[in-house]
Structures are given as structure tokens and as C-alpha cells.
Chain A
Amino acid sequence: MSASATTSTGDVAAPAPHAVVPARANRSHRGPSTGRLVWRWVVRIALTLVFALPLLFMFVSSLKPDTQIFGDLTSVRAFLPVGDISLDNYTGVFGRVPFWRFLANSVVIAVATVVLGLIVNSMCAFALARLRFRGRSLALGVIIATLIVPFETLALPLLWWVNLLPYYDGSTGWLDTYEVQIIPFVANAFSIYLFYQYFASIPKELDEAATVDGAGRFTIYRKIVMPLAGPAIATVAILTFLPAWNQYLWPLMVVQSEELRPVMVGIDYFKQLNTSWGQIMSYASLITIPVLVLFVCFQRSFINSIASSGVKG
């Protein structure tokens, strides 16, 4: 694991992973024949259609009335915004459910999970990676060990458990709150592990120099180590944001009130109102486009984050 540990920090840190791609096609003078190269381009483009067309179909259908969606299925018009195009489906969504409320809920939940998670997990990882104290390896071992337990194992006992936990207003049970959608996901063993690896790779001389200058440990964390941890912060933020935005099983169980419902549970509920497919596709587009835009803008960071998650275990 130590070998993969070094690679991972390398991956997180490497600003331009494209530079290390072995350029086989260019280097080899006996490269693939022209026919082969053309064939590969054909396959690449065909695959692009396979992955992009269903999503395009979703966006395009969101602009059409149901009769036209079904009428267009047999031709290429299914993927083109032509015919009776309007935003009626979108107006329909806003008329039937408090969509903006659902969206605001999801934003609050995802942002709170990411921000709190960055603070709590990086602090814990800093102590584990750069401070000496008794029980350090035990704490690290326990945290790493929890990585093999998927959330699905403990979801239902956790549901029972949060229903018994004292709430801050003196009542019992966290069901149907914002907190129950955020707090259980703040501390994350994998985030701690990613930060730990990154922090361990930063030279300790920096701490010592700062200590000589009279800085406390917490100041070192805040003023020296964290400002150097940009790539790790980006990775953890992305790897926390996506599941927080997309989570479904948990909010499905813990949220009853409409005003606390996040978008993913909201769309499921919206579908059960017997709405038209066009409207469902509008709702789906509304919650997908922002994430896809973010992804395309920060494409490299997203992909690097996923790649660095590949060293887990």
C-alpha cells in the first residue's frame, strides 16, 4: 500500500496529468496503420453518441409536449429541438412542486456537508499525520478499517438510531430535519485518508521552522499546511459534493416534510404525481445541467479526483 500511497499523493498534486500519458501513438514509428487509426476515430465518435445521446434526448424532450416526444421517436428528430418547442414543461414543474425549495435544500445540504467535512476531516488528518501522541496508530487504524463498511450496511440501523438521538431543542429523534441529512456525512474516513496522505507528504521542516518562530500547532495547520493543500482540498470537495448532491436512499427514509426535501427525492415524488414525461424530463434537466456545467468547467479536477480515489484500499 505504501507504493500506491505515494502515487496517490502524486496524483492529487500533479497539476497536469496529461503530460505523463505514454504517447504511444506518436512515439512509435511503426504505429498503427492509417486504416486502424480511422477505425479508432469511428469507434470514439460512436461511443460519444452512446454516452451523450440519452442525455441530449432528455434535454430535447424537456422542451416538447408528450405527443410530439412520442411522435419524434422514430426519427432523428428525437434528438433535435424542432417542432413545437416551448418552456411549458418547465412552467408545469414550477406549478406542481416547490422546485426552487427542493433545489435550495439540496444546495444547503451539499454545501454544508462539503464545508464542514473539509474542516473536520482535514483537522483530524493533520493531527494524525503531523502530531505525535499516544493512540495515534490506533485511531488511524480504526478510521481506515471503517472504509470497508459500505453505508448500505448501516443505513437501516442508523435510521433506528437517529430516531433515538436527543435533538438540540430537548426532544428525541432527528428525523425530518436538515441536520439528519448533513451531520452523519460530515466526518468521512476516506476524506481523512486522502488528507492524511497529502499532509504526510509535506516536509516536516516547515512545521519546525514555524515552531521556532513561535507558531502553535493549530496555527501551523491553518496558516502553513492548509494553504499548501489546495489539490487535496479540491479532491475532497468534489468527492464529497457528488454523493451529497446525489444521495437518495438516506433522504428517502429520513425526510417526510416537503420543505426539507432535496431534489433527488423530490423528482421521485414528482413522478408519482402522474405528471407527463416532458415535465419529468424538465425536472431532470434542471437538476442535471448545473452539475454537468460544473463538470465541464472543472473537467480536469473532477477526473483527477476520481483517479485519486482509485488508490483506496
Chain B
Amino acid sequence: MTQMVEIEPPVPSAAVTRRPRSVTGSSRGQSRTAAWMILPAGVLILVFVLVPIALTFGLAFTDAKLISPTGPRFIGVENFSRLFDDPVFWKSLRNTVIFAAVIVPVQAGLALGLALLVNVKMHGVTFFRTMYFLPVVTSMVVISLLWQFMYQQDGLINAVLARIGITGPDWLGNKDTALLAIIVMSIWQAVGFHMVIWLSGLQTIPGELYEAADLDGVSNRQKFLYVTWPGLRQTATFILVTITIAAFALFTQVQVMTQGGPLDSTSTVVFQAFRAGYTQQQTGYAAAIALVFFALVLAVNLIQRYLTREKDA
């Protein structure tokens, strides 16, 4: 299909007959049509993406307030020095990093396990895929409320634990278990998503490789190590990066379930930015926090770029 695009037989003959006007006319016409077709998306991206990105950088160095009679005033790095002096910020950053550090390997690993489990051609396997995917299409707000209910001291989870002789804590009310509770729920919600990504990676591995491996009589474990895993490297990088970035952006669960508590044990960077920029209406300070979040995301992207470049070379 790609080669066909590069061959353009009809153009020369058509151009020969009508060269003087049609060539310039059509390319000018194309430019004009292109401009009109790009205009709506272009304006929207400019106003609602590019300008806000520039504002994030700009406002972080001002005292901008959400509602203020005077405009933003330049205050240098004051927001950042205030932020770095704020113990809640360091707690939020720590929680965000812990959340990501646990979620990334556990969720990626479990998702791969699920994918291998349903990557068979067999009647009924679609049913399991659908079931594992149900939480992904359910809203995070609903899931947070449902699990908040289940995590109560006298809730479903402790009732189940009690049957096997464990007295469960007040999961979300205890500063030692609240973040863990959010981690478990978040994995439950999103693991089906990454199962599907792993599956599409698995399906790009040519079946002949497995046939060859069978002929050589290799074990299942060797098949995984030498055929499956090398074929999944690109998928793996993608999955690790998307889970990490999504983990850094942790907000909804915290807002619905704990409001950052108890004792800031579940506060996160994005939650703190929300509280600063919305609840306290300090847009400048929130922009500074957002920049810290963006720095985390950018770091992950650069690491990914570095890793994939090394592989290509």
C-alpha cells in the first residue's frame, strides 16, 4: 500500500496538457483548502493547549490569583522557594513517587500475566477479556466511591478478611494504610487496560517463531524468555511510560476518597496543585506545582527516549 502512494502515474500526463495554470492553481488551491481545514483545530489547540502551556510557565513566576482585581505581578522564583519550604509539598511528592514506584512494576506485571492467560485461541476466552476489562470502562469516580464503601471499617473487605481470621484496619482512615488502599484499587481499575496493550503486542509476534521453538523442543519458560519477551520490548517501553505518567497524575481517587488525608498521607502533586489553584485560588502557586509535575513527566519521556535510542543504535 505504501509503495503505491509513492508512484504517481496520472500526474505527469495531466500536467503536460494543462501545465501553465493548473500546477500553480492547484497548489495554491490546495494551500487555501488546507488552511481552511486546519483552521478550526489549529485555533482550538492554540487557545486551549499552546497558550495554557505558555501560561503554566509564565504564571509560575507571578502572584496570579484566580479572581483578582489586579493582574498578575512578576515575583521571580518566590512560588518555588515557598513550595520547596512547604512540608506538604515534599509529602505530596513522596506519595506521588511511592505510588508510581509501586504501581508501575506491579500493574505492568499483572497486566502481562492477564494477557498471557487470555492470549489463546479458544471458545470463551473473549468472555474473560471482557470481564477483566469491565473496571476500565467504569468511571474512576464511581470506582472510588464503591471502594470507599468497601474499605470502611465495617465494610465488605474487612468482612471478607474477618472470615479468614484477619481484623482489617480502617483502610482509608489510617495514615499507614490509606495510600496502599488507593494503590490496590487503582491497579484493579487499570490493569485491564494494560492487558489489552500487552495483548496487541503479543499478537505482533509471528507464530512461526513459536513453531520453530517447538521443533527445537524448548521449554515454555525458554519460549517466553527468548521469543515472547524480546518481541514485546516496544510494548514494554510504552506500557511503562504510560503507567508512570498516569501514576504521577493521581488525583480523582484522592479527591473522592480521602481529600489528601489522613495527615496528608495521600496528598499528591496534582491534588496539591488543585487545592492551591482552585480551593485557594492561587493560580501562580498552582502553576509552579504543575511545572514540578510536568518536570516529572518530561523526565520519564527523556528516559524512554534514551532507552529506545540505545536499542536502535
Contacts and interface: CB of A to CB of B under 8 A. Distances in A.
Contacts of A277: 149
Contacts of B294: 149-150, 153
Contacts of B298: 148
Nearest to A6: B2
Interface in A101-153: 119-121, 123-124, 126-128, 131-134, 136, 139, 142-143, 146, 148-150, 152-153
Interface in B200-257: 200-207, 210-211, 214, 217, 220, 234-235, 238-239, 241-242, 245, 248-249, 251-252, 255-256
Contact of B162 (A74, A209, A302): A74
B183 interface: no
A146 B249 CA distance: 17
Per DSSP, chain B at the interface is helix
Interface in A1-51: 4, 6-7, 11, 17-18, 20-30, 32, 40, 43-44, 47-48, 50-51
A123 B162 contact: no
A218 B34 CA distance: 9
Contacts of A24: 119-120, 210
A172 to B, nearest CB: 12
A268 interface: yes
A310 B118 contact: no
A299 interface: yes
Contacts of B207: 22-23, 27
A277 B67 CA distance: 37
Nearest to A78: B156
Contact of A281 (B149, B197, B217, B291): B149
Contacts of A120: 40-41, 44
Nearest to B43: A187
A292 interface: yes
A144 B276 CA distance: 30
Given A20-B203, A54-B150, A307-B196, A150 B234 contact: no
B45 A146 contact: yes
Nearest to A153: B294
Interface in B147-170: 147, 149-150, 154-156, 159, 162-163
Interface stretch (A80-88, A90-98, A200-208, A229-237): A200-208
Given A24-B210, A152-B290, A307-B197, A55 B138 contact: yes
B273 A152 contact: yes
B16 interface: no
B120 A21 contact: yes
B133 interface: yes
Contacts of B70: none
B111 to A, nearest CB: 11
A143 B45 contact: yes
Interface string B245-279: 10011011001100000000000001001101110
Interface of B: 1-2, 4-5, 8, 10-11, 14, 26-27, 29-31, 33-35, 37-38, 40-42, 44-45, 47-53, 55-56, 59, 64, 66-67, 114, 117-122, 126-142, 145-147, 149-150, 154-156, 159, 162-163, 188, 192-193, 196-197, 199-207, 210-211, 214, 217, 220, 234-235, 238-239, 241-242, 245, 248-249, 251-252, 255-256, 270, 273-274, 276-278, 283, 286-287, 290-291, 293-294, 297-298, 301, 304
30 contacts: A11-B200, A20-B203, A21-B119, A22-B210, A26-B121, A43-B117, A54-B147, A73-B154, A131-B30, A133-B34, A150-B293, A150-B294, A154-B290, A155-B273, A159-B66, A159-B277, A160-B277, A161-B51, A161-B52, A189-B49, A209-B10, A253-B274, A264-B141, A267-B145, A277-B149, A292-B137, A299-B126, A302-B133, A308-B200, A313-B241
